[in-house]
């Protein structure tokens, strides 16, 4: 199984507001950087989407060391919030609908396909790849004519 390093970030210029996501994939000496954006979205949606798009770019099952500054995304997986939400009919412990269900349901099969280990990095702390992802995400968020994020809460 290929060993991949993946770095992700999401950005929102206002929350909600125009947002961008970015992923950097590294396999050996090869690095791929990409991103996208939407109008009228949230930072959390962009953080989740960065992980979805990064994992979706992998053509075969891989072992992924995923570096993110999003405690929300990391905790949803590592603290098994996703498992609880599914068991509870996509309701939180407070019996409220889970936000971003559309993205979480897209992420679940990718987490089954790949062996993903989450690593949290402090955002805006000089971590080179996190800073790169932040720059890419902000660039996409600031582009004119972004499509609407029709699922954003």
List the catalytic residue out of 53, 54, 69, 149: 69
List the catalytic residue out of 10, 20, 36, 37: 10
119 given a catalytic annotation: no
List the catalytic residue out of 19, 20, 36, 47: 47
What Rg, from alpha-carbon coordinates, does the chain have?
15
10 given a catalytic annotation: yes
Q: Give the phi and the psi of residue 97 in degrees, each rounded to 5.
A: -60, 140
List the catalytic residue out of 9, 53, 129, 149: 9
List the catalytic residue out of 89, 124, 126, 145: 124
102 given a catalytic annotation: no
9 given a catalytic annotation: yes
131 given a catalytic annotation: no
139 given a catalytic annotation: no
Establish how many alpha carbons lie within 13 A of residue 127's alpha carbon, considering only the half-sphere containing its beta carbon: 17
List the catalytic residue out of 53, 129, 134, 149: 134
Q: Give the phi and the psi of residue 86 in degrees, each rounded to 5.
A: -65, -45
At CA 79, angle to CA 84 and CA 20, rounded to 5? 95
Q: What is the DSSP string of 80-101?
A: -HHHHHHHTTSB-TTSPBPTTH
- Residues annotated as catalytic (active site), given as ranges: 9-10, 47, 69, 124, 134
């Amino acid at each position: 199984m290929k060993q991949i390093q993946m770095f992700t970030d999401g950005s929102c210029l206002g929350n909600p507001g125009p947002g961008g996501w970015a992923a950097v994939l590294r396999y050996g000496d090869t690095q791929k950087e990409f991103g996208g954006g939407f109008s009228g979205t949230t930072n959390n949606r962009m953080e989740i989407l960065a992980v979805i798009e990064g994992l979706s770019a992998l053509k075969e099952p891989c072992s992924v060391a995923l570096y993110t500054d999003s405690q929300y995304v990391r905790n949803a997986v590592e603290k098994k919030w996703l498992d609880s939400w599914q068991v509870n009919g996509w309701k939180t412990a407070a019996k409220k609908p889970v936000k971003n269900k559309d993205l979480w349901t897209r992420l679940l099969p990718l987490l089954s396909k790949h062996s993903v280990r989450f690593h949290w990095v402090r955002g805006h702390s000089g971590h080179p790849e996190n800073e790169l992802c932040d720059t890419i995400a902000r660039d996409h968020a600031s582009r004119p004519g972004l499509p609407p994020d029709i699922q954003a809460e």
